[in-house]
Chains A and B, each alone.
Chain A
Amino acid sequence: QVVESGGGLVQPGGSLRLSCAASGFNVSGHYVAWVRQAPGRGLEWVSIFYSAGATAYAASVKGRFIISRDTSKNLVYFQMNGLRVDDTAVYYCATGSTVVTPVDALDVWGQGTVVTVSS
């Protein structure tokens, strides 16, 4: 499973670091993605850290957010800088078990952590 933490209220222009704690698998061997959902809106794929070390970002966050991992702690981080009001959302951490890995689907999701950007 995965468990997110680190959400909260932050002013526009501020920073937050989300954490995704993995249990039952090693983050070094699985891709881990962040997906967000603004209030009343649909799902938005935001970023991914592949097992081999490659990363990718949505255009809306590229250059502001950074995904990283600490294999010794089995954690994936999401550093969010230059936060904007429209970054307000529930942020989910998700990964794929061995069965779905060949197609990069997400079958293990956390409960989400709420990020609110407001003055």
Chain B
Amino acid sequence: DIQMTQSPSSLSASVGDRVTIPCRASQNLAGYLHWYQQRPGKAPKLLIYGTSTLQSGVPSRFSGSGSGTDFTLTISGVQPEDSATYFCQQTYTTPATFGGGTRVE
């Protein structure tokens, strides 16, 4: 199985900060890497798919980058409503594993 590692598990930011959330895979994902946002008590929401494609309706301050085994979610100008946990997921192969998540406060 492909292992997905997200570190740190939490971070603090101030409004307007540029926040970067890393995700590392145990093997090459060929771009099959996606990012989800989950607010407490809610279902996850897809933000970025295929490493860098912004999902429709998602604010443009969110962006994704990376290749191979190393990927990053960037929030440029974090807003209060961005307080949530962010998960990366690989779908290169099954089981389509998630990272452990990074909580942004």
- Chain A residues close to B by CB (< 8 Å): 33, 35, 42-45, 48, 56-59, 92, 94, 99-100, 102-107, 109-112
Contacts and interface: CB of A to CB of B under 8 A. Distances in A.
Interface string B12-49: 00000000000000000001101010100001111001
Nearest to B32: A103
Given A42-B100, A92-B44, A103 B49 contact: yes
A43 B99 CA distance: 8
Nearest to A105: B49
Nearest to A44: B98
A43 to B, nearest CB: 4
Contact of B91 (A99, A103, A111): A103
A43 B38 contact: yes
Nearest to A33: B96
Given A42-B101, A43-B101, A92-B44, A56 B94 contact: yes
Contacts of A100: 46, 49-50, 55
Contacts of B1: 59
B72 interface: no
A44 B97 CA distance: 7
18 contacts: A33-B96, A35-B44, A42-B85, A43-B44, A44-B98, A56-B94, A57-B95, A59-B1, A59-B95, A100-B50, A103-B32, A105-B34, A105-B49, A105-B89, A106-B89, A109-B43, A111-B43, A112-B43
Given A42-B87, A111-B43, A112-B43, A103 B96 contact: no
Interface string B67-105: 000000000000000000101010100111111110000
B60 interface: no
B101 to A, nearest CB: 5
Contact of A99 (B56, B96, B97): B56
Lowest 10 A-B CB distances belong to which pairs? A104-B91, A56-B94, A105-B49, A109-B43, A107-B46, A43-B98, A105-B34, A42-B101, A103-B50, A58-B95
